[in-house]
């Protein structure tokens, strides 16, 4: 039964996608005598964690006194180790101890330095039975962005592009030509809403004039990142609209004002992908989609700085154009949606 309730935790955790970063997505389920009496997931960044929301849902249903009595004979399932430090909120491990939960089942430990086993120790020291490792692999996959940020000190990098059936990425001339369809566009906007940032290069900003927002999906706009060495993208470009923050990596100036942040990089062309990702890491950006163009995508591919690639292939045949990027990875998903093929690859370690 532990796996059954933990799967529910993971379902709940995913409901926080796009709102909790730089915190991890966490779900919690409270079970008393094989009945779920409370559940919750992490609130948007700065709000209560999953365990608090699960406890409060039970208190709302049963009242403080009765819920407390039930907690003492309950198991709480949590998809990530309860925090043991004061951050934006008090430690969840302390709360579980105070409510005298009988048992705590955890999918995986939290690698964050201020937790990393400390939550488990607090629970065990209080005499609570603790189980760790139920659906651990699935829980780590769900929070792959969080784990990458902590272990590699950079955002989780998702490459994304569309290509024709015969493998072309863009026309030979500088004109915009759509490859994918409207259903694919909506899916891409959903993807954007789930990540912290989205990045393009100078040519894409000039030729396509993208706003890089979430228009065809309900969700949060990602921060926009532009690589523009000589600041040639005009201020009236859509990427500079005031809907969301834009970060511009360049070789000319540093100037943080309003919703536009210019970040000058010394020796601009030297280790450019590495420097960009490190700067974004310092800004608490946990994940990023690289949307192009071809030169920009290739920069990150050549540097080996990507984790996941999402490739949309249309049935269109162009016969000529710029070749789509090539990657070596493991295909984990392939499906047809509205006539387009979607493949997701993971980088081989």
- Looking at 3, 33, 34, 51, which residue is catalytic? 51
CA distance 254 to 210: 23
DSSP at 174:
S
119: closest CA among 81, 148, 169, 86? 81
225: closest CA among 208, 255, 245, 253? 245
Q: Mapping DSSP to helix (H, G, I), strand (E, B) and coil, where does residue 198 land? A: strand
Known catalytic membership, residue 51 = yes
If you compute the radius of gyration of the chain from its CA atoms, what whole number of angstroms results?
A: 23
287: closest CA among 78, 25, 74, 55? 25
CA of 214: how far to CAs of 208, 268, 289, 306, in Å?
16, 30, 13, 23
Q: Mapping DSSP to helix (H, G, I), strand (E, B) and coil, where does residue 125 land? A: helix
CA distance 144 to 140: 6
Counting every residue written for the chain, the total comes to 349
Contacts of 186 (CB under 8 A, 6+ apart): 216, 217
Contact 244, 210 (CB under 8 A): no
CA of 39: how far to CAs of 10, 11, 122, 137, in Å?
11, 11, 22, 22
Q: Mapping DSSP to helix (H, G, I), strand (E, B) and coil, where does residue 233 land? A: coil
Contacts of 216 (CB under 8 A, 6+ apart): 185, 186, 189
CA distance 282 to 337: 37
262: closest CA among 310, 229, 291, 300? 229
Active-site positions read 51
């Amino acid at each position: 039964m532990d796996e059954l309730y933990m799967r529910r935790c993971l379902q709940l955790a995913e409901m926080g996608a796009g709102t909790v970063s730089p915190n991890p997505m966490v779900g919690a389920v409270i079970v008393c005598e094989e009945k779920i009496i409370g559940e919750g997931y992490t609130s948007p960044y700065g709000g209560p964690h999953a365990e608090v929301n699960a406890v409060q849902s039970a208190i709302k249903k049963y009242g403080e006194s009765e819920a407390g009595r039930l907690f003492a004979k309950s198991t709480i399932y949590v998809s990530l180790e309860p925090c043991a430090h004061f951050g934006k909120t008090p430690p969840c491990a302390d709360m579980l101890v105070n409510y005298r939960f009988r048992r705590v089942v955890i999918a995986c430990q939290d690698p964050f330095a201020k937790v990393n086993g400390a939550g488990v120790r607090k629970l065990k020291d209080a005499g609570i039975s603790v189980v760790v490792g139920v659906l651990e692999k699935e829980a780590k996959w769900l929070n792959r962005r969080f784990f990458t940020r902590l272990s590699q000190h950079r955002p989780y990098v998702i490459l994304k592009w569309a290509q024709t059936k015969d493998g072309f990425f863009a026309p030979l001339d500088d004109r915009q030509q759509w490859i994918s369809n409207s259903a694919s566009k909506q899916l891409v906007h959903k993807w954007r809403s789930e990540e912290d940032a989205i990045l393009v290069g100078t040519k894409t900003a000039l030729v396509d004039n993208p706003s890089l927002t979430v228009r065809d999906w309900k969700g949060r706009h990602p921060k926009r990142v532009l690589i523009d060495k000589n600041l040639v993208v005009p201020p009236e470009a859509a990427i500079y609209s005031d809907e969301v923050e834009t970060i511009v990596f360049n070789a000319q100036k540093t100037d943080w004002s309003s919703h536009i942040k210019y970040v000058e990089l010394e020796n601009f062309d030297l280790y450019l992908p590495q420097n960009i990702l490190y700067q974004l890491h310092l800004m608490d950006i946990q994940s990023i989609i690289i949307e192009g163009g071809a030169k920009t995508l290739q920069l990150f591919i050549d540097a080996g700085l990507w984790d996941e690639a999402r490739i949309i292939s249309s049935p269109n045949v162009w016969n000529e154009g710029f070749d789509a990027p090539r990657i070596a990875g493991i295909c984990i998903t392939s499906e047809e949606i509205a006539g387009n093929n979607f493949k997701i690859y993971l980088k081989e370690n």
